Amino acid sequence: MTTSEGALPPVMITVYGKPKNKKTSDALATFPTALCLGVPSAVTLVAQNELGFTPSVHPSSPRTLPDLVRLLHHLSDSGDAKAYGAIIIDDASHLCQQSMLYWQEKAPVGRSGKKDHFYQYQELNRHLLEISSLARHIGVHLLMTFHERMPGSNMDGRFCPGGPDVPSRNQVETIPSWCDINVRAMIDPTYPDPWFPSIYYCDPADPEWVTGDRTGVCYNKTPGNLREVLRSSRSNYKLDRVKGLEWQDDVADTVAAAMVQGASSREAVTAATSGRKEAQLHLRWACQDGIARGVLRLRAQRSLFDFVAEEAAADNARSLSLPPPPPAS
């Protein structure tokens, strides 16, 4: 089980962002023992080359949303998912696109002799709702990655926020509405990770993007590390490591402690790794967790009533690239 305390509720997470923004690698780093549903070669390539381990990928990973619904039903009814503690559904946007092609072919022919254009969108809505319900009640953590869809207006001229890339703007909020954490993966050069400065944008007050977090940890420049987000929550999730890599938490703690004492991330990493002989990918993974842990610990030291610090953080967040305004109606 991915949580060491059975009483802790499983979390449902949506991560969306541009391609190659470390969505898949962070999902795998967060839940390395998870059952992965995605393109086996792609998921395995990321895990082996970025994290140094081979993940558990379902041998019959779904290619469409109907496939996914059937598989989730099976995993739920059989209880097989509990052995992994978590499920990762990688690149759900691709599943949606393939499903639209599938439903386009299956669409019934109307009285006009033409295929029903709305059939595929009705099926999309139905399947997204069913997947959300299944995922919410499957009994283990579930994380879905998507590409991002920019804010814009639907066919009726109604504004729809940016969020997970699904084929209908009207459905962008369907799955996030069921989730505990919805974040947008971004790059922020000011984030102190010397390897890859990934962050998660989360600001529920921003009407432009669908984001939110029930743990109370995420903010507009959250470290791009969901393992550390969950660990830093008041629920204090304890997530499994790959067998044999349990030492990574000791390294992460050393890095985080040094940062809290005033060391830069590079200084903390250099000191924590000096003389260690473990594989470099595994050491980097531990250090990246430590950097995120240090950043979150420093933020947690603030008082909930320190509004000056919050205003300064909001000012700093303006350095992030913002989406273009929605088209005028």
pLDDT at 117: 86
C-alpha 151/C-alpha 131 separation (Å) is 24
pLDDT at 329: 41
The predicted structure's pLDDT at residue 237: 92
Q: What is the pLDDT of residue 151?
A: 96
The CA distance from 70 to 87, in Å, is 15
pLDDT at 124: 96
Measured CA angle at 283 (ends 252, 254), to 5 deg = 25
**Range 12-232: architecture per CATH:** 3-Layer(aba) Sandwich (3.40)
Query: What is the per-residue pLDDT for 8?
Result: 85
Return the pLDDT at 112.
83
- pTM equals 0.90
At residue 113, the pLDDT reads: 81
Q: Domain limits of the chain?
A: 12-232, 248-317
Q: How far apart are CA 302 and CA 252, in angstroms?
A: 21
- What is the Cα–Cα distance from 51 to 274, expressed in whole angstroms? 20
Residues in the chain, pLDDT under 70: 1-7, 303, 307-329
- The 10s digit of each residue's pLDDT in 107-126 is 998 888 888 889 999 999 99
Task: State residue 110's pLDDT score.
Answer: 82
Residue 292 is predicted with a pLDDT of 98
